[in-house]
Amino acid sequence: MHLAVIGGSDAGISAALRARELDPSVDVTVVVADAYPNFSICGIPYYFSRDVHPWQSLAHRTHADLEATGMRLRLDTLATGIDVAGRKLTVVDERGTESTIAYDELMVGTGASPSTAGIAGLDALGAADGVHLLHSMGDTFALEEYLDARQPDTAVIVGAGYVGLEMAEALTTRGIRVTQVQRGPEVLSTLDPELGSLVHDELTRHGVDVVTGTRVERVSKTGGTLTVLGLRDGATFERTADLVLVVVGVRPNTSLLTDAGARTGAGGAAVVDEQMRTGLPHIWAAGDGIVTHHRLLGVTYLPLGTTSHKQGRVAGENAIGGDARFTGSLGTQVVKVFDLVAARTGLRDSEARAAGYAPRSNTAVADDHKAYYPGATPISIRITGNTDNGVLLGAQLVGSRGAEVAKRVDTYATALHHGMTVDAMSDLDLSYTPPLGSPWDAVQVAAQSWVRSTA
């Protein structure tokens, strides 16, 4: 049995590891487009903040670790075509030499590429000009080289999602004056604005110039100066900088699958079922290139590293004859922005309404631990529940680093997984000691506040 895997990031490596774990007799080849298999893309901002060094430590596992599991890696090798009927893969190595790889089962984890959101001028400007995208280790090296060589004083970051916020922190830490430009009304548009504004305040407190409600239309370069042009409240927005970083999301890489006959669905991603079957014989797929089964939304597109790990594991198990199932995402996410942590799971009010639920949302503020013990800090918790049946639909949390926000969202995620009512969360036997919690934990205080708000 030969399992070929395309892609050396979360989904591909997870599939390869799972197959080898379950059946060490399975031959596994992983085709990796670059020389950096199993690198933690989520860690890249911390390389720029200099929390992580050298860059090699961003690898979840080293090349040697991976080979020790018995998988074979073909680095700097691009998969260019799939012969579905012949069960063969065409690949091109770094010298341009084409070859074929025969497989019994194929797992495709080609991931996603950075979006440029239709901003004009990006085609003509590249890393050497000071205009950067950030998704791969190649992008990482290009940006680091630019930072070292040019020592920019100012940067415009287009986008205020997870990577944008983390990079605003990283570049600020390096002494660069950052302007963060966001299309929507508030940063971190995955949270409701009332919670996003807490993140906005944290950015401002650390010197980031946050410009919301601004659509960037063009980036241009005149002489040595980059100019970001856009529209804000109907007026022209213009900002010059030494560096422009565009981090406005991703689009799925699907051409390899669609050329082979696969269908695309939500978000333009390749369609798979919950067992990661593409519908093409012997071809499985996982990760940022495919649609996401969501426990509350059905099929959507919501690329996340955690999801890629789970999908990859399912694909790896099933490709060698297993019967695993991806039980679905809840879109659980967390980000640290300077000294603040923002997290969410499930749906916000607007998302729930759009999906046909009858939501109601309520924000409560509860201390992370007993106020009498030093260092207690408030956590803002916004709960969305279904008014039809009281079922929890989602939670958003913003609090200080150290307030255990990242793991408190996990309690909501676990409750959501089981379809709990908001009210029943008061039944959960959660831990308590005065330095770390309260007899009713903050997650329960917020749940009780939601219940009262619907009375």
Residues forming the site for a copy of itself (CB under 8 A): 10, 40, 42-43, 46, 51-52, 57-58, 60, 162, 295, 304-307, 309-310, 313, 327-336, 341, 343, 345, 370-374, 401-402, 404, 406-411, 413-415, 417-418, 424, 426-437, 439-441, 443
Contacts of 50 (CB under 8 A, 6+ apart): 173, 174
Contacts of 328 (CB under 8 A, 6+ apart): 274, 293, 294, 295
- Residue spans of alpha helices (H) in 301-420: 305-319, 349-354, 405-417
CA distance linking residue 239 with residue 376, whole number of Å: 40
Q: Positive or negative CA dihedral for 125, 128, 129, 132?
A: positive
Min dist. Cβ of residue 5 to a copy of itself (A): 17
Backbone angles phi, psi at 386, to 5 degrees: -90, 120
CA distance linking residue 59 with residue 47, whole number of Å: 12
Min dist. Cβ of residue 333 to a copy of itself (A): 6
Min dist. Cβ of residue 343 to a copy of itself (A): 5
For a copy of itself, the closer of residues 162 and 284 by Cβ is: 162
Number of Cβ within 10 Å of residue 99's Cβ equals 11
Number of Cβ within 10 Å of residue 34's Cβ equals 16
Contact yes or no for 130/150 (Cβ under 8 A): yes
Min dist. Cβ of residue 225 to a copy of itself (A): 34
Contact yes or no for 34/56 (Cβ under 8 A): no
Q: How many CA atoms lie within 13 A of 186 on its CB side?
A: 15
Min dist. Cβ of residue 359 to a copy of itself (A): 19
Min dist. Cβ of residue 101 to a copy of itself (A): 27
For a copy of itself, the closer of residues 358 and 371 by Cβ is: 371
For a copy of itself, the closer of residues 40 and 90 by Cβ is: 40
CA distance linking residue 123 with residue 423, whole number of Å: 52
Min dist. Cβ of residue 412 to a copy of itself (A): 9
For a copy of itself, the closer of residues 154 and 306 by Cβ is: 306
For a copy of itself, the closer of residues 103 and 412 by Cβ is: 412
For a copy of itself, the closer of residues 123 and 372 by Cβ is: 372
Contact yes or no for 78/99 (Cβ under 8 A): no
The continuous run of DSSP H or E covering 366 comes out as strand 359-367
CA distance linking residue 450 with residue 454, whole number of Å: 6
CA distance linking residue 259 with residue 271, whole number of Å: 13
Min dist. Cβ of residue 59 to a copy of itself (A): 8
Min dist. Cβ of residue 323 to a copy of itself (A): 13
For a copy of itself, the closer of residues 4 and 171 by Cβ is: 171
For a copy of itself, the closer of residues 126 and 439 by Cβ is: 439
CA distance linking residue 301 with residue 447, whole number of Å: 28
For a copy of itself, the closer of residues 87 and 336 by Cβ is: 336
